[in-house]
Chain A
Amino acid sequence: MRFKDTLRISDGLVFLLGNEAIARGALEGGIGLASAYPGTPSSEIVESLMKVKDELDIYVEWSVNEKVAFEVAYAAAISGVRSLVAMKHVGLNVAADPLMSSAYTGVKNGFVIVSADDPSMWSSQNEQDNRFYGLHAYIPVFEPCDPSEAKELTKFALEFSSEMKHPVILRTTTRISHSRGPVKLGEIPKPVTKGHFDKDWRYVLIPANARRNRLSMLKRWEAIEDAVNNTKFNKIEGEGGNLIIASGISYSHVRESIDMLGVRNKVKILKIATTHPIPEKLLLKSLENTDKILVVEELEPFIETHVRNLLYNEGIRIPIYGKKFTGIPFELTLPRVTKAIAEFLGIPYTLREVTNNKKIDVPPRPPALCPGCPYRPLFFELRRYINQEKLSAVLVGDIGCYSLGYNPPFKVQDIIIEMGGSIGVGNGLSRVIDDVVISLIGDSTFFHAGIPPLINAVYNEAPLIVIVLDNEITAMTGHQPSPSTRISDRGRSVLIENVVKGIGVKYVRTIDPFNINEFRLVLKEAINHVKDKRQPAVIIARRRCALQVSREIRIQGIEVPSYIVDEVRCIGCKICYDWFSCPAISPKENNKAWIDPELCIGCSACVQVCPVNAIKPAKQYDIESVEKLWR
């Protein structure tokens, strides 16, 4: 069922993605505004809200980065409009500045900050545990254990925040955000979308006011510490001397593990949804007749440390285990949790292990640029140019689909650190190494965090080449719009050329990445410009994301073109499948190329890299209509 269709339902079970459940919870909690910058695993929250905003008449936006998204939602909450802001864990680093201040001022109505963490780093550069932001900022952290609770807890978080006049972090993880499960729907109240800003000293964080705020924040915190003891989301289950404390997805693993081990009647579980502050009274109650404690949580020993603290303060001496049995890095799994519980209880580990250990050598399949990806010809030519010219170059990459250019055969990303890092790190490199420094950054990332470092390059005259890969969309996270996306009725919001020229970059060229000869000439020119003038040069490579284009071709009912290899002409040189490396092209037994009709989307980019002109359309197509969509 599509998320939009669930609007009509106010009762009964529907099958929702964790992130859709959070979106639904926000609607049932009465939000009037939501904002986000996309990032896996958080993107579907605001994507879902985007689909229903018109019908419900709420305001939803994709902001230019997480900091702005945070500020937009915060502004609503201090004006009395309930709001939600969503981001991936590392996005909260970008928004950390207003996050800290928001706890000082507090809010007028419910304000929920969703941090979607990514244990095991399925789509991230680190697996930082954002529960520490709650500790750091004096902001409560709530964690749901499955999609169903994700909905309820989001709604509760909004109510809790309204009542406490304080922001709340809802922390989810990949396995909550990207799990689907049955969710019981409730009523969506009529949202309040207009507020009133009451002028007050506490919103003016000059030192004198900040000091007063600091004291009132600590007072609010005392009330919060007390209130978390009384929610139904924290509870004690079962009885016995063995206490297992678990939160989030870990609780779901624990519940199933104890059944698999057949020890349900031997353990008591303290399920915690308000990870920070820990519900101290409930925790102390759960310690009655307890001989030992196992804390099951993902990543850092956050709860474990707090439990240890509390026990010390109360003078209670009970052995506490946690990370010793579960380990620290990567996400928890059912076997990992079962093993930890078995060790804790001193019983044999009975989970069925893999019985047949014979394995076949399956070659790895790393993710790859899609067939038709505009980055492919550009990366191909960039690599070829560097090799042929024996150019000593350092390529500084960034966060986006183009990170995949790290892999062979392109190998055009020597450094990838964080959003916008390509230009910032490029600035510094150009000062201390003699190589040609080339920064590669996508359109959405450029707007997100690439502009200040480019201004820095102009202002401080950094000899740096920046290639902006403009596919007019935030592709990697699922095609959310970016400021360079063309919108039918008003065109492009912001043209990258205007920004770059406005900043004062002297050398600015726009190219079509499918035209590799043109790119080669421009690249050569840019290298000379940087060398001679000791100033930055910017190349904008513009062509639309292939997934978007092929989707539109299908929607418009145009026949999707497909290309074939003329087997007589093909000399089996391997360029198209091993160097151009299109996933749709693979070798046959005789090394001659074959194009898979299931994968080819008819972009025609491979035609120009074939040295013997062996690649041609499978038949006559309406190339003109197709070509229009690509540009």
Chain B
Amino acid sequence: MPVNIVVSGVGGQGILSLSQVLGESAIKSGVKALIAETHGLSQRGGSIIVHLRIGNDVMSPLIPEGNAHILLGLELLEAARYAHYLLNNSLIVVNDKIIRPNVPGVETPKRGRIINYLKERSRHLFLVKASDIAVRHGNPIGANMVMLGYISNVLSRLGLLKYEYAEESASAIGGKRYGELNKQLFRIGFNEANRAVSDLTIAEIKKLFS
């Protein structure tokens, strides 16, 4: 059975590059992967969902609702918006950050409410201060690299890909100027996952798809 990963966030957060690295790393690790992306107009600051499916029997690029094993959110509202894609008690990893939708007078749910909602969906909720870390390290658009490091650690421990491939790609993305910084951000995310996500959690998530 393929492992279904929903990656969501706001257009411009680097979700496509992140997902591409994950898929490519899976292929290099000898597992088939398919990604369905969103391009074009919807990319301009809109809500983005990318479907990433890993497994040798995967054919269709789209994840059915209620069938995702992992939700990787680059923003809290966008994690909540697509949480119904998840199986109960699957893994949620989300950047601890709210970006207000660009709608005049819009009422945004409070952080606490969103987190409670996500907790109702799963007891395996992990918040990552990816945006704060990226801004602090002088690459304001590098939150995706922190999240990439985090999820690569998890997927690697789940046996779905070798994180070394993802780390290599992360430093290739930024070119000469930002490559080293991206690698550093990747590492921070990676170590954070090592610390926060227990082997027990990994074992429970693994049960969902094996």
Contact = CB atoms under 8 A, between A and B. Distances in A.
Given A404-B44, A477-B40, A365 B34 contact: no
Nearest to B35: A180
Given A363-B108, A408-B103, A578-B105, A335 B41 contact: no
27 contacts: A1-B24, A146-B61, A180-B20, A180-B37, A182-B33, A249-B61, A252-B59, A256-B58, A334-B63, A351-B64, A356-B84, A360-B80, A360-B109, A360-B114, A363-B108, A363-B109, A366-B46, A366-B101, A367-B45, A403-B41, A404-B41, A408-B103, A408-B104, A555-B177, A583-B99, A598-B131, A598-B135
B123 interface: no
A388 interface: no
Nearest to B101: A365
B35 A362 contact: no
A359 B84 contact: yes
Nearest to B25: A15
Interface in A40-56: 40-41, 43-44
B107 A367 contact: no
B140 interface: yes
Contacts of B43: 367
B11 interface: yes
Interface string B52-68: 00000111111111110
A488 interface: no
Interface string A580-600: 010100110000000011110
B120 A178 contact: no
Interface in A589-619: 596-599
B40 A41 contact: yes
B79 to A, nearest CB: 9
A616 to B, nearest CB: 18
Interface string B133-165: 011000011010000000000000000000000
A368 B48 CA distance: 13
B177 A554 contact: yes
A78 B4 CA distance: 47
Contacts of B24: 1, 15
A188 interface: no
A367 B20 contact: no
A548 interface: no
B194 interface: no
B148 to A, nearest CB: 16
A354 B141 contact: no
Nearest to A88: B40
Closest 3 CB pairs of A and B: A40-B40, A367-B46, A123-B40
A334 B84 contact: no
A252 B36 CA distance: 13
B100 interface: yes
B66 A352 contact: yes
A598 B140 contact: yes
Interface in B11-47: 11-12, 20, 23-24, 27, 32-47
A390 interface: no
A631 to B, nearest CB: 23
Contacts of A122: 38-42
A175 interface: yes
Interface string A1-23: 10000000000011101000000
A596 B61 contact: no
Contacts of A478: 39-40
A252 B104 contact: no
A333 B64 contact: yes
Nearest to A338: B64
A257 B59 CA distance: 9
A41 B66 CA distance: 27
A178 B140 contact: no
A603 B182 CA distance: 25
B198 interface: no
B39 A178 contact: yes
A290 to B, nearest CB: 23
Contacts of B99: 583, 596, 599
A556 to B, nearest CB: 9
B200 interface: no
Contacts of A338: 64
B102 interface: yes
A175 B33 contact: no
A476 B44 CA distance: 8
A613 B78 CA distance: 33
A259 B57 contact: yes
Contact of A597 (B12, B87, B104, B140): B140
Contacts of A348: none
Given A123-B41, A362-B81, A365-B47, A557 B177 contact: yes
A515 interface: no
Contacts of A407: 103
A102 B122 CA distance: 58
B187 to A, nearest CB: 20
Contact of B34 (A180, A255, A257, A583): A180
Contacts of A489: none
A554 B138 CA distance: 12
B62 A175 contact: yes
B31 to A, nearest CB: 10
A579 interface: yes
Given A256-B59, A579-B104, A597-B140, 14 more contacts: A179-B36, A180-B23, A253-B62, A257-B60, A352-B87, A359-B84, A365-B45, A365-B46, A367-B43, A476-B41, A555-B177, A577-B104, A583-B100, A598-B131
A560 B41 contact: no
B44 to A, nearest CB: 4
A598 B143 contact: yes
Contacts of A249: 60-61
A138 B151 CA distance: 50
B20 A15 contact: yes
Contacts of A356: 84, 88, 120-121
Nearest to B118: A360
A215 to B, nearest CB: 43
B179 to A, nearest CB: 13
Contacts of B87: 352, 355
